[in-house]
Chains A and B, each alone.
Chain A
Amino acid sequence: MTPMTPVSECPGIVPQLQNIVSTVNLACQLDLKKIALHAKNAEYNPKRFAAVIMRIREPRTTALIFSSGKMVCTGAKSEEQSRLAARKYARVVQKLGFPARFLDFKIQNMVGSCDVRFPIRLEGLVLTHQQFSSYEPELFPGLIYRMVKPRIVLLIFVSGKVVLTDYVNLDFFIGAKERSEIYEAFENIYPILKGFKKT
């Protein structure tokens, strides 16, 4: 997958991917106690959480493995790395004696970040883009911008740093499914932010 060339509107600023969340179905029942016993890189506290937490060094990621055979993989910096990591976790489970398969691998969410390098008057942005913005400094220092097309949530900070993400604490799950959506969202927000460069 080749990255889209950003429009000249945003000089040399490309959002960096920071986290990818993906899921895959290993399609077999798993004995989590057995996995936790035989794997060095596994944590299992059934009283706290009903899944094994497993980690590998390369690509540096974390997986949640459920007894149903469903698995979540987090921490990768690209879609390809996420898939490679998920395959390695599946291999570990296979080596422990389970007939693990690799079905329905899917990227669930992507998080990117970048820096526009100028400060932003968040009070002004929330006034002119009220229908998309939520800025409550009593709760959180950043402005939460819910873009409609593409459906991305952006966290915009006074320092000019922008995080393009899903914000689960807001009681909903909206996120990028394609890398191009993150780039598109940034290209949409940049001219708006530039409008707030001058005080």
Chain B
Amino acid sequence: MPGGGRCPDCGSTELVEDSHYSQSQLVCSECGCVVTEGVLTTTFSDEGNLREVTYSRSTGENEQVSRSQQRDTAVAYYQQAYRHSGIRAARLQKKEVLVGCCVLITCRQRNWPLTMGTICTLLYADLDVFSGTYMQIVKLLGLDVPSLCLVDLVKTYCSSFKLFQASPSVPAKYVEDKEKMLSRTLQLVELADETWLVTGRHPLPVITAATFLAWQSLQPSDRLTCSLARFCKLANVDLPYPASSRLQELLAVLLRMAEQLAWLQVLKLDKRSVVKHIGDLLQHRHTLVRKAFRDGTAGTDIGEKELQGRGQGQGQGTEAVEGSSLDLPEGKRPASPALLLPPCMLKPPKRICPTPPVSTVTGDENISDSEIEQYLRTPQEVRDFQRAQAARQAATSVPNPP
């Protein structure tokens, strides 16, 4: 730990924080002795979400103090990796990427939300190359790398948007209070996570879409005319390609929630007008999500009927309408709940894959000559083929006319 601590076994001061089975441990890097197990967790919600609390957050100590320790940890991982012959013999490009991997692992263990995209940009490396090396090193060193913390990523990413001060590119009406925007973005990201928009997807585009909606909704009259692309440009942030798609999905969720509020239902909101009411929707989001959606995970037999009807559109799947809502006249009834499922399960299947008939092949069947001969060229065909090959050779070897 910063400020002291010796290994009880060998007396070394070289203690490193290591994450094992989502629990932080202090390990002696000299002899491997586990000095402490578990970290003081102070936030109930963090514990509930099985998230470890960083040392600095629970003790209030300065993060800067542990920076050099982080560097030492990353170096230790690199040296550990270098002991393997496959890494020693690797190309320089891979070794450079390996540095990035060690830094990433160290950051993840300290809940520092560094994305792989950022590392690749800094290293001028290809994500594919990074991916291969990262997976290899995690397996080689037998590491348990904690997941990227979404909340931390939102905080650092949002803070990078250049919208908190007026400038030549940012007019006054676009300037926003950082805390307000952060708070709203966090709520929108939480909403997206709850409604299956985050699982299996790259985390960043969802946050971009959420930041945009949060910003727009804080002053809709002036900002509805600004597009997502323009927003990113003036905030000096790259627009990730999937962000537009995430935006549409998030707006669809918000519209479904709005349908549950009688005073919003009469307004017949669309994807633009719903932005004005995001504040209200977020305030009651837990209730609205519960009312607007029903569990898509309920039982496989119900699931089967839903999945068959899926292809004809969502309306078909909503059989279970609450009794009370049937008493209201047609226009005033809140919309029947839609299935709460990841978008990939709601799209109609591209093509029906018929289950193949049970094969009766034994592998010992007789193979007829005629069946094999269909694959062989006749002598004439061989001659034709050879002639065609020769002609192609001649054509490619003739120099171009000047």
Q: Do A and B come from one complex?
A: yes
In the bound complex, residues from chain A placing their C-beta under 8 Å from that of B173 are none
Which of B131, B355, B359, B375 is in CB contact (< 8 Å) with A41? B375
Task: Answer whether A92 and B376 are a contact pair too, CB < 8 Å, given A78-B361, A84-B361, A131-B21.
Answer: yes
The answer to whether the Cβ of B132 comes within 8 Å of any Cβ in the partner chain is yes
In the bound complex, residues from chain B placing their C-beta under 8 Å from that of A117 are 300, 303-304, 307
Which of A38, A40, A171 is in CB contact (< 8 Å) with B135? A171
In the complex, chain B residues 99-120 whose Cβ is within 8 Å of any chain A Cβ: 115-117
Task: Answer whether A130 and B22 are a contact pair too, CB < 8 Å, given A37-B385, A80-B363, A88-B367.
Answer: yes
Task: Answer whether A38 and B359 are a contact pair too, CB < 8 Å, given A11-B300, A119-B342, A141-B201.
Answer: no
A40–B117 CA distance with the chains assembled, in angstroms: 46
Which of B21, B202, B300, B303 is in CB contact (< 8 Å) with A130? B21
In the bound complex, residues from chain A placing their C-beta under 8 Å from that of B341 are 119
Which of A39, A139, A171, A172 is in CB contact (< 8 Å) with B116? A139
Contact A39 B300 (CB under 8 A): no
The answer to whether the Cβ of B222 comes within 8 Å of any Cβ in the partner chain is no
Interface residue count for B (Cβ, 8 Å)?
55
A87–B367 CA distance with the chains assembled, in angstroms: 8
The answer to whether the Cβ of A29 comes within 8 Å of any Cβ in the partner chain is no
Task: Answer whether A80 and B361 are a contact pair too, CB < 8 Å, given A39-B377, A138-B148.
Answer: yes
Contact B345 A84 (CB under 8 A): no
Task: Answer whether A84 and B148 are a contact pair too, CB < 8 Å, given A40-B377, A142-B200.
Answer: no
A199–B22 CA distance with the chains assembled, in angstroms: 20
A88–B376 CA distance with the chains assembled, in angstroms: 13
A45-53, A64-72, A156-164, A179-187 - interface stretch: A156-164
Contact B196 A119 (CB under 8 A): yes
The answer to whether the Cβ of B371 comes within 8 Å of any Cβ in the partner chain is yes
Contact B135 A95 (CB under 8 A): no
The interface centre, meaning the residue of B115, B132, B196, B363 with most chain A CB atoms within 10 A of its CB, is B363
In the bound complex, residues from chain B placing their C-beta under 8 Å from that of A41 are 375
In the bound complex, residues from chain B placing their C-beta under 8 Å from that of A192 are none
Contact A137 B202 (CB under 8 A): yes
Contact B362 A37 (CB under 8 A): no
The answer to whether the Cβ of A9 comes within 8 Å of any Cβ in the partner chain is no
The interface centre, meaning the residue of B115, B203, B361 with most chain A CB atoms within 10 A of its CB, is B361
Contact A126 B376 (CB under 8 A): no
Task: Answer whether A81 and B361 are a contact pair too, CB < 8 Å, given A37-B386, A95-B376, A134-B135.
Answer: yes
How distant is A90 from chain B, measured CB to nearest CB, in Å? 9
In the bound complex, residues from chain A placing their C-beta under 8 Å from that of B127 are 139
Q: A81 — nearest CB in chain B belongs to which residue?
A: B361
In the bound complex, residues from chain A placing their C-beta under 8 Å from that of B117 are 138
Contact A80 B144 (CB under 8 A): no
Contact B136 A171 (CB under 8 A): yes
The answer to whether the Cβ of B199 comes within 8 Å of any Cβ in the partner chain is yes
Interface residue count for A (Cβ, 8 Å)?
56
Q: A196 — nearest CB in chain B belongs to which residue?
A: B297
Q: B389 — nearest CB in chain A belongs to which residue?
A: A37
The answer to whether the Cβ of A150 comes within 8 Å of any Cβ in the partner chain is no
> What string of 1s and 0s marks CB contacts (under 8 Å) between B360-390 and chain A?
0111110100011101110001100110000
Contact B373 A159 (CB under 8 A): no
The interface centre, meaning the residue of A96, A121, A137, A140 with most chain B CB atoms within 10 A of its CB, is A137
Q: A41 — nearest CB in chain B belongs to which residue?
A: B375
The answer to whether the Cβ of B50 comes within 8 Å of any Cβ in the partner chain is yes
A127–B363 CA distance with the chains assembled, in angstroms: 45
How distant is A187 from chain B, measured CB to nearest CB, in Å? 16
Contact A134 B200 (CB under 8 A): no
In the complex, chain A residues 142-178 whose Cβ is within 8 Å of any chain B Cβ: 142, 157-160, 169-172
A138–B295 CA distance with the chains assembled, in angstroms: 27
Q: A116 — nearest CB in chain B belongs to which residue?
A: B300
In the bound complex, residues from chain B placing their C-beta under 8 Å from that of A28 are none
Contact A81 B359 (CB under 8 A): yes
Contact B297 A80 (CB under 8 A): no
Contact A158 B116 (CB under 8 A): no
Provide 11 A-B residue pairs closer than 8 Å at the C-beta atoms, listed in order of the A residue: A37-B386, A40-B377, A80-B359, A117-B303, A123-B147, A138-B116, A138-B117, A141-B200, A169-B132, A170-B136, A171-B132
Known: A81-B361, A88-B371, A172-B139. 8 other contacts (CB 8 A): A37-B385, A117-B307, A119-B196, A121-B199, A126-B147, A134-B138, A169-B132, A198-B297
Q: Shortest 6 CB-CB distances between A and B: which pairs?
A: A83-B363, A80-B363, A158-B200, A141-B200, A118-B297, A197-B297
